[in-house]
Structure formats: C-alpha cells, structure tokens
Amino acid sequence: MEVRPEVQRFVDRGPLPSEDDATEEEVTARQNELEAINGPVSTEEAGLLLGTFGPDDCFGLAWTLLHLIETAPSSPVTSPPEPDANEWVRRLWDRAHR
C-alpha cells in the first residue's frame, strides 16, 4: 500500500516537539496536520508514524497520535521495545498485548 501524502507530510516534519520547546503556532500546525489524517491507517503508515512521537505528550497530541496508530489493522510494534525506547512506543506495545 502506498503511504498517503498527509501521512508523509506529518512524518517528514519529524517528532512532535516537547511542551517546553513548542510554540503555540507549531502545536497548532502539528494538530492540524494530524487531524488531516483520516483513520484507519495502514500498518505501513502506522510504522512510519511511530517515529513522530516526541519526548512528552505535546499538549495531548501524542494521545491523538497513539489512537490514530491504533486504527491500523495490526500493531506496528512487533517485538517488545527496549527499556530506553520512547514511552509512547512502549505504551503501544503494552496496550496491544493486554
């Protein structure tokens, strides 16, 4: 399956900023980009989106991203994450394997 342009745009922008570093404009722009992605996402898209989690919840955007990734037909986290993996990736693993 081909990655949709709106997913690729979001991925190309990189990880979500931290709450300490983000400007209001940046958070609004990332929110708009994220909301432009309609679920369900493909497993391939979900795998790409895994790399866009930042260091914290970015004013709730990380939760929105997590829920979007969970619309994929299967979890993109296919093995237990390393202890130092991003907390959101570990959370996805935990939620998929409960």
DSSP 57: -
pLDDT value for 9: 97
Sequence ranges of the domains in the chain: 5-96
pTM: 0.94
Token representation of residue 91: 């959370």
pLDDT at 97 over 90: no
User: Which own/partner contact pairs does 1-6 have at CB distance under 8 Å and 24+ positions apart?
Assistant: 1/42, 1/44, 1/45, 3/42, 3/44, 3/45, 3/48, 4/37, 4/45, 6/33, 6/36, 6/37
Kindly report, residue by residue over 29-43, the tens digit of the pLDDT. Answer: 999 999 999 999 999
